Amino acid sequence: MINTVVAVAVGGALGALARHGVAQWSLQHWPKAFPLPTLIVNLLGCLLIGILYGLWLQRPELSPLLRQTLMVGFLGAFTTFSTFSLDSLRLLENGEGVLAITYILLSVCIGLLATWAGLSLTR
């Protein structure tokens, strides 16, 4: 039990740091009008969870502790659907309806596609 808590905490800390790094990198390279950092981490997180899930389907003998570290800890802290919701709401409240709908559709549709692609890579 304590090992799992520590593993999830370590994974979460690394996921949060990675999310921060992606945000800093993307803000230096693209305009801030579109919430690109959140889109990047959500889509990348979807791809990674698809890959990891596929690996554990193919190799159930892989460590459950590693699964908790990566899927619950790292990806739980790395992906940002709460931020996604806030970004969408703020775009709508600022009268940017088309941009908000574009952002929502890209996040959900490409996120599903990325998850499928990650899972397909491991099958």
Q: What is the pLDDT of residues 66-116, one digit of tens each?
A: 999 999 999 999 998 888 998 999 999 999 999 999 999 999 999 999 999
Please give the mean pLDDT across all residues of the chain: 93
Full-model pTM: 0.80
**Domain of 64?**
1-122
Contacts of 9 (CB under 8 A, 6+ apart): 73
Q: Residue 11, annotated ligand binder?
A: no
Instruction: Give the Cα separation of 116 and 28 in Å (integer).
Output: 30
Instruction: Please give the Cα distance from 117 to 123 (Å, whole number).
Output: 10
Domain count across the chain: 1
- Helix, strand, coil percentages (3-state) for the chain, rounded to 5, are 85, 0, 15
Confidence of residue 56 (pLDDT cuts 50, 70, 90): very high
CA distances from 83 to 60, 73, 119 (A): 33, 17, 25
Q: Is 79 annotated as a binding residue?
A: yes
Alpha carbon distance 111, 103 (integer Å): 11
